[in-house]
Amino acid sequence: MLVGRQDEVQRLADLVGAARRGNGGVLVLRGEPGIGKSALLDHVRQAASGFMVIEASGSEFESELPFAALHQLCVPIKADLPDALRVAFGLATGTPQLFQVGLATLGLLGQAAKDRPVLCLVDDAHWLDDASAKALTFLARRIASEPIAMVFAARYGLEELPSLVLDGLPDADARTLLRATLDEQVRDRIVAEARGNPLALLELPKAGGFAPPDTSTITSRIERSFQARLDSLSDEVRLLLTLASADPTGDPNLLWTAASRLGVEAAAGGAAEASGLVEFGTRVRFCHPLARSAVYRAADAGLLHNVHRALADVTDATTDPDRRAWHRSQSGTGPNEDVATELEDSASRARSRGGVAAAAAFLERAAALSADNSKRVDRTLAAAQAKLDAGATDAAAALLTTVELKTLDERTQAKADLLRGQVAFVRHGDSNGPTFMLHAARRLADIDPAWSRTCFLDALEMAMVVGRGSGVMDMVLNAARSAPPATDFLDALVLLNTSGHKAAVPALRDVLADSAAWTRRPALATMVAGELWDIDAHTAIVDWLMKTGRQSGAPMVLRLGLAQGALEAALTGDLPKAVDAIAEEEALADAIGTPSMTYPRLFVTALRGRREEATELIETATTVAKAKGIGQLVANVHWSAAVLHNGLGDYPAALAMARQAAAAGDLFLAGAAMPELVEAAVRCGENDLAASALESLTERTQASGTPWGLGLTAYSRGMVTGDEDDYRAAIELLADSPGRTYQARAHLLYGEWLRRQNRRLDARTQLRTAHDLLSTIGMEAFARRAFDELRATGAQARSRATNSLDELTMQETHIARLVATGATSKEVAARLFLSPRTIDAHLRNIFRKLGITSRRQLRDLPDLR
């Protein structure tokens, strides 16, 4: 039994016991070096009888190599590796997709767990390479229904997983740990100095317990205690230990071959093991990670250069070129173009395998070893781009500061400006991204007009995210007027900004008709299609996004397609389809470890009229949008909130939200907010405001000329003018459009107007139609409005039966629909990046909530058809 760790041992026993019963789980043991994380891993390894134990360890010297730790974990499993893992491990060609790698790992471990439960132990997880960390996090989130337990030991990181923070031992337990070796006076001094750190309690006595009080960190003192053991060792043994510390693979064959080149005799291994710092077996292991780092840091530069040179010489250039290049780069050669080129090649290989963090590290070192200044600059900029792609924004910015911009030519300065723009864009609260993009566009205007236009468009898309209300978008559009003319979004949007919709709509339509133009900017294309109320164009874009995303495995393309598909389905009255798309997008976002796209769920919840759920989403989205400076999301929040409050009949609140959404002026969102603004303004007696909003809406929709846009404009005009012909025109136009949500609202508004004209019989016809449509769609708040209006006419509406799916979460609803269509658990699992066992667990919950017992009954439910 570990001294003073009874609670931690019990927590691990519970985890292992649950996994033995088929309820998988994960725990991150978190704490400072020496606090006992590795000891607890040793304990759970011994306690997990009957488990298949597989292990991996992060390495300070391998933290940049993609999938290095995942490879350690998967290789011991005696099974054929799935294709996704073969690609990730460099055993097959291709570009690994993180969620496919994670799903393949889940399948591999799930298969192994059929014979006996699996225990995964990952030590030094703070040093995991980025790709492995993401894949293992993906895995950890998806083992709840598997007989798999995962335990990580980390100083920091993996914050999204359940954790147990290890504190220092209480004084009584610390004294127990020391009682057998020291007298009471010395023991009390060491207990005070160690502050409950178990490794410090064991190591400090070996370094001398009577030393003066030391104010340095416990980690530094433990490292010094390990280094103190080196003093009594011969130079040959220290050389062997340094060699072992510099080799991250722990491969004894590699170690002894390199040692032979350095003249180290095999007998030195015995003395090295006798020091207690290292053991030689099938793998070379240090007694503790701090021992390894202590040995490495104790060596002088010359010794380290010799060690790395020897390791480079014995590392196979064909099978392991990246480690060889890295050792060569650490061998003290000084500027060396050959080594720099090797590192550049390693960066290319790392990037092709999804290891952008590794690519950045290789490129940064390549830049440092570049003898030629122009190559050094190019490699530094490439390293900064890789750092940015890996999410290391501050590191990218720091690299950019090392480049002397004044000495660069215009093209290279433009590259630097682009990177500075990207860095600013992803930093919260920094709105200078579009400005740097404009600098680049102007530099390139004469020497590369096509690239210059690309920079203008990049600046424009950045400005749209920041939000028009900031003024950045208008600045970009004004600057873009100087760009050479071409038929693309840039000229069309400049024309829209300067001359209005009537002049710009033909140009915008031309761009949407040219798939070669909009496929390069699909996000922008969806907004333009929305601005034109052109559902056919929007559908074509969504279909392309979905097809391309699924075929290529590109998560961002597929997520955009799902989010836009959800929004389109909601606008056209197919809320079940919208819910399915939202659930799948959220599953994909979770798979790659990024936040989901908020706006489709926000709008669907508002359209349903679920006040409590929508209010919570609105508050969360507003906080995130303001913190990150995403003005576009703020406008989405205001539009959705206006829809919510109009449905609930809270017209003052709807007016406030619609005014803000319209005033922001964002593409599509400003126009979409106008009908909400007209309705709320009329109900609040703000007639001048309603008339002004109607004028703006009319200018937009007349230019586009679609039945959808013209129909909602017609009913908005009816509210302002009170002309019955406008309501009838709206219903006729919207009947010919896919906009069922607006068609239903047109019947509701016409029925409300008729009732206020005391035409009760006519009102009942419209209100019944509205109630049936709104109830069928699932627009609950608007349906209640129709129900109340019908009662006010003296009629009774049929109350909508409770939807049997209302008790299900969005993900459960999506799973139920997929299974109802005949999909197997395996097929659903692949779609949602889960294991088949997890899908079966969800199905059990679905059956319980719906009061059914079989898949056949699920297929018979009318709400799933």
- Report helix, strand and coil shares of the chain as percent, to nearest 5: 70, 5, 30
Residue 278 pLDDT exceeds 50 = yes
Query: For tokens 């996704």, what's the residue?
Result: 84
Inter-residue contact 422 to 388 (CB < 8 Å): yes
Residues in the chain: 865
State the pLDDT at residue 213.
46
Query: For tokens 């470890």, what's the residue?
Result: 593
Residue 526 pLDDT exceeds 90 = yes
Whole-prediction pTM: 0.82
Inter-residue contact 199 to 222 (CB < 8 Å): yes
Residue 217 pLDDT exceeds 80 = no
Beta bridge partners of 153: 29
Among candidates 708, 702, 654, 709, which has minimal Cα distance to 677? 654
pLDDT, tens digit (0-9, with 9 covering 90-100), for 58-117:
887 677 778 889 999 998 887 788 988 998 888 888 778 878 888 899 999 999 999 999
Q: How confident is the model at residue 554 (pLDDT cuts 50, 70, 90)?
A: confident
- The listed range with the strongest mean pLDDT (72-81, 231-240, 403-412) is 231-240
State the pLDDT at residue 209.
40
Mutual orientation of helices 555-571 and 535-552 as an angle, nearest 10°?
A: 150
Rounded mean pLDDT, 420-424: 91
Task: Round to whole Å and give the CA distance between 225 and 298.
Answer: 12
State the pLDDT at residue 75.
84
Residue 459 pLDDT exceeds 70 = yes
pLDDT, tens digit (0-9, with 9 covering 90-100), for 113-149:
999 999 999 999 999 988 899 899 999 989 999 999 9
pLDDT, tens digit (0-9, with 9 covering 90-100), for 176-212:
777 655 566 666 666 776 777 777 777 766 654 434 4
Question: Does residue 29 sit in helix, strand or coil?
Answer: strand
pLDDT, tens digit (0-9, with 9 covering 90-100), for 20-33:
999 999 999 999 88
pLDDT, tens digit (0-9, with 9 covering 90-100), for 618-655:
999 999 888 888 888 999 999 999 999 999 999 999 99
Query: For tokens 């390069």, what's the residue?
Result: 520
Which amino acid, residue 721? T
Inter-residue contact 665 to 469 (CB < 8 Å): yes
- Please compute, for residue 447, the number of CA atoms within 13 A of its CA located in the half-sphere on the CB side: 11
Q: In this structure, what are the phi and psi dihedrals at residue 638, rounded to the nearest 5 degrees?
A: -65, -40
State the pLDDT at residue 118.
96
Which are the contacts of 609, defined by CB distance < 8 A and separation ≥ 6?
Answer: 644, 647, 648, 779, 780, 781, 782, 783, 784
Query: Which tokens is 590 given?
Result: 């979770």
How distant is the alpha carbon of residue 631 from its chain centre? 20
Question: Does residue 128 sit in helix, strand or coil?
Answer: coil
Furthest C-alpha separation in the chain: 106
Task: Round to whole Å and give the CA distance between 599 and 187.
Answer: 61
Which are the contacts of 454, defined by CB distance < 8 A and separation ≥ 6?
Answer: none
Query: Which tokens is 834 given?
Result: 């889960």
Positive or negative, the Cα torsion across 786, 787, 789, 790?
Answer: positive
Rounded to the nearest integer, the mean pLDDT of the chain is: 88
How do beta strands 148-154 and 278-280 pair? unpaired
The burial class, CB within 10 Å (0-12 / 13-18 / 19+), for 783 is: buried
Residue 864 pLDDT exceeds 80 = no
Task: Round to whole Å and give the CA distance between 628 and 636.
Answer: 15
Q: How confident is the model at residue 340 (pLDDT cuts 50, 70, 90)?
A: very high
pLDDT, tens digit (0-9, with 9 covering 90-100), for 701-720:
999 999 999 999 999 999 99
State the pLDDT at residue 429.
65
Residue 249 pLDDT exceeds 60 = yes
pLDDT, tens digit (0-9, with 9 covering 90-100), for 657-688:
999 999 988 889 999 999 999 999 999 999 99
State the pLDDT at residue 14.
96
Beta bridge partners of 150: 26, 120
How do beta strands 284-286 and 278-280 pair? antiparallel
Which are the contacts of 198, defined by CB distance < 8 A and separation ≥ 6?
Answer: 3, 34, 35, 36, 39, 169, 177
pLDDT: which is higher, 168 or 703: 703
Which are the contacts of 109, defined by CB distance < 8 A and separation ≥ 6?
Answer: 77, 118, 120, 139, 143, 146, 148
Inter-residue contact 512 to 518 (CB < 8 Å): yes
State the pLDDT at residue 259.
94
Rounded mean pLDDT, 569-595: 90
Rounded mean pLDDT, 240-269: 91
The burial class, CB within 10 Å (0-12 / 13-18 / 19+), for 461 is: buried
Which amino acid, residue 834? L
Task: Round to whole Å and give the CA distance between 728 and 56.
Answer: 70
pLDDT: which is higher, 801 or 546: 546
